[in-house]
Amino acid sequence: MRTKYVSALIPVALILQLSSAWAAPDRESRARWEEAVEPQASKIVIQNLSARPAEASLGSEQIAISAGRIAEIPAAAGPFRSDAPLLVLQAPDGFDAASLEIDKAVSEEFLLKRGNPSARAAHPAWARELVTGVAHIRHGATGAVALASKDPDARVEIAVEFVAPHTLVRIRQLDSLGNEMTSLVASASSPVRWRTTLEPVAGESRIEMRTLRGEAQGTAAAVVRHAGARSRRSPITPLLKLGGGNAKFEPTINWQGSADLYYKVTSGPVSLCGDLYVSRNGAAYTVTPGWICTDASGAATKGPWTYAGQSGDEDATGYIVWSDGSSTNSANHIWDKTAPSVTIVPNSASPAPTALSGTANDGSWGSGFSAGFPATAGGGNSTCVLYFYEKSTGGYWCPGSTSYSSGFPCNPSCTLSGMPSRFITWSAGSSVLPPGLAHVSGRCYEWGVVIMDNWKYGKEGRATYTFCVP
């Protein structure tokens, strides 16, 4: 079996393999996903969305994609399989893979939305427009936009955001008579924003985007080379308001001690049952038929699920497809069961360090860290505190003192950097550390850092540093 080291694109129709209904896989497990290759696809373009090398297979061919790079391979009988975070396009011969561009800030943006919806991560103008009121195209729905240009060099450029993991869309460009000029099938294993160029506008073109799974939004523009920033972008809007209702998890994140979890639907179709589509911890969607039914007012509630009933961290996205074909929005929920892992690194000052720093990692599927977590029932932001203990006497040092004379820790704060994220750094300078004169020759000391993802409900991660003064 050969391995190809390439740089380009790939196919899109996923099947997910998951464990039992609401069970959470192991904290760092990787979910296998696979897609069928459409017969009309001529080539497959694969964008590695991660900072690590990725592997995939297409039939019997093995494919290796460098970190952050694009791979382009001829289409062949599938399926395509991978456990890596990828954007996959099934494209015709004329598709220019070099026109594919990814918004690098998207993963931070999604974590940020969970913590502080009013904040915005830095991302390019074309991506910023996607998060400012562009209508979402839900599972089963089609959106469209018409473009016109008198410039013979103008080409269609589309910008798309996959709002949910494992979203699958079919994009078509039609001429003024309704004939198909080109088409793409695109999917990604995680939420992502991307843009690419299609065929010339040729006077008038119509762009259609049908969401076959998940949820997406998009814009399109008639772009002349080197003038993209000045091109007016138009939203791809739903052809029909399907009225599938609004869905949400309450609460959005469950830490220990927080309220039980419920799934609620409002403004849905009246007296209908719907299938649950859910992706857990990066895995492809599983479907549970007839999972929820609305009442005479179009409302429905499922739950409760308890914190104690969950086996591990879980980051899930779910939505409902009703029996009339309409669907709800995609809603996200996190079970945070595992404490962050924390490191502590002192500098080499003597007789005691004068600076501390380190990292905190909440794993692939935990809540991460944020300065804007909702203050539900007294919970709130991530925190970082220190303690300083003299092992020989059992005393603690408190700020302003010249000795370890307190019977209780004082816990001065340290600084967290890089939020919102699941991996952050922390630091503490000399202003919050014991002075050198507080340390006695022949005695040993333990310094520790405690970091909580949520200061009231979250689990604490702890790291210690021990030293003795000669």
Q: Tell me, what's the pLDDT at 378? A: 56
- What confidence tens digit (pLDDT) does each residue in 382-422 have? 999 999 999 999 999 999 999 999 999 999 999 999 999 99
Q: Model confidence at 155, in pLDDT bands (50, 70, 90)?
A: very high
Res 27: pLDDT: 35
> Does 176 score more than 60 pLDDT?
yes
Per-residue burial over 266-276, b = 16 or more CB atoms within 10 Å of its CB, e = otherwise: eebbeebebbb
Examine the domain organization and report whether 93 and 104 are in the same domain. no
**Residue 395, number of CB atoms within 10 A of its CB:** 18
pLDDT band at 120 (very low <50, low <70, confident <90, very high): low
Q: Minimum mean pLDDT among 101-110, 112-121, 171-180, 299-308: which range?
A: 112-121
Q: What is the pLDDT of residues 58-77, one digit of tens each?
A: 888 899 999 989 999 999 88
Contact predicate 363/313, CB 8 Å: yes
What is the structure's pLDDT at 16? 25
Lowest-confidence range among 23-37, 83-97, 244-258, 379-393? Answer: 23-37
Query: Residue 247 has what pLDDT?
Result: 97
Residue 440, C-beta contacts closer than 8 angstroms, at least 6 positions apart: 392, 469
227 & 106 share domain: yes
Say if residue 368 is in the same domain as residue 295: no
pLDDT tens digit sequence for 361-373: 999 999 999 988 8
Same domain, yes or no, for 193 and 270? no
Strand ranges in 214-272 using DSSP code E only, listed in sequence order: 215-223, 234-235, 237-238, 246-250, 253-254, 261-266
State yes or no: pLDDT of 11 exceeds 60. no
For residue 133, the model assigns a pLDDT of 74
Of the ranges 15-19, 202-206, 280-284, 360-364, which one carries the lowest mean pLDDT score? 15-19
Q: What does pLDDT average to over the chain?
A: 88
Q: In the prediction, which pLDDT does 229 show?
A: 53
Domain count for the chain, please give it.
Answer: 4
Is the predicted pLDDT of residue 24 greater than 80, yes or no?
Answer: no
Tokens of 269: 């179709």
Please report the pLDDT score of residue 19 as a whole number: 27
Task: Using pLDDT thresholds of 50, 70 and 90, give the confidence band for residue 26.
Answer: very low
Would you say residue 20 has pLDDT above 50?
no
Instruction: Give the residue from 98, 123, 152 where a domain finishes.
Output: 98
Q: Which residues contact 299 (CB under 8 A, 6 or more apart)?
A: 264, 265, 266, 267, 268
The 10s digit of each residue's pLDDT in 297-331 is 999 999 999 999 999 999 999 999 999 999 999 99
Which pLDDT does position 10 carry in this prediction?
30
Helix (H, G, I), strand (E, B) or coil at 359: strand
Q: Which of 74, 98, 122 is the last residue of a domain?
A: 98
Give the residue, 120 or 70, on which the prediction is more confident.
Answer: 70
Looking at residue 324, the DSSP 8-state letter turns out to be: T
Which residues fall within 8 angstroms of residue 361, CB to CB, at 6 or more apart? 340, 341, 342, 422, 423
3-state DSSP assignment of residue 436: helix
Residue 164 clears pLDDT 70, i.e. is over it: yes
Instruction: Please state the separation of Cα 368 from the chain's center in Å.
Output: 11
470/376: higher pLDDT: 470
More confident residue, 52 or 7: 52
The proportion of the chain whose per-residue pLDDT surpasses 90, expressed as a percent, equals: 72
**Bridge partners of residue 418, in order along the sequence:** none
Question: Is there a single domain that holds both residue 345 and residue 457?
Answer: yes
Q: Is 36 within 8 Å of 54 (Cβ atoms)?
A: no
Instruction: Please say which residue of 335, 362, 384 terminates a domain.
Output: 335
pLDDT at 384: 96
Q: For the ranges 94-103, 104-113, 317-326, which has the lowest average pLDDT? A: 104-113
Q: To which residue do tokens 């990692």 refer?
A: 361
Do 327 and 352 lie in one domain? The reply is no
Average pLDDT over every residue of 164-174: 96
Neighbours of 464 (CB within 10 A): 13
Q: How confident is the model at residue 357 (pLDDT cuts 50, 70, 90)?
A: very high
| Residue 116 pLDDT grade (very low, low, confident, very high; cuts 50, 70, 90) | low
- For residue 187, the cross-strand partners are 88, 168
120 and 79 together in one domain: no
Please indicate, yes or no, whether residues 104 and 230 belong to a single structural domain of this protein.
yes
CATH of residue 267's domain is 2.60.40
Indicate whether 32 and 133 sit together in one domain: no
- The mean-pLDDT minimum among 44-48, 69-73, 227-231, 405-409 falls in 227-231
Write the CB contacts of 284 (distance below 8 Å, at least 6 apart in sequence). Answer: 14, 15, 16, 17, 18, 31, 33, 34, 166, 189
What's residue 134's pLDDT? 85
Report the pLDDT value the prediction gives residue 35, as an integer from 0 to 100: 85
Amino acid letter, residue 109: E
Same domain? For 395 and 444 the reply is yes
* Residue in the structure block whose two tokens are 């909440």: 362
Is the pLDDT at 51 greater than 70? The verdict is yes
Beta-sheet pairing, 286-293 with 300-305:
unpaired
pLDDT above 90 for 337: yes
Instruction: Dump the DSSP string for 329-383.
Output: --EEEEE--SPPEE--EE---SSS-S-EEEEEE-TTTS--B-S----GGG----E
Write the CATH number for 218. Answer: 2.60.120.380
396 and 446 in a common domain: yes
| pLDDT range class, residue 117, cuts 50, 70, 90 | low
- pLDDT at residue 151 greater than cutoff 50: yes
The domain of 402 spans 341-468
* Same domain? 165 vs 294: no
pLDDT band at 5 (very low <50, low <70, confident <90, very high): very low
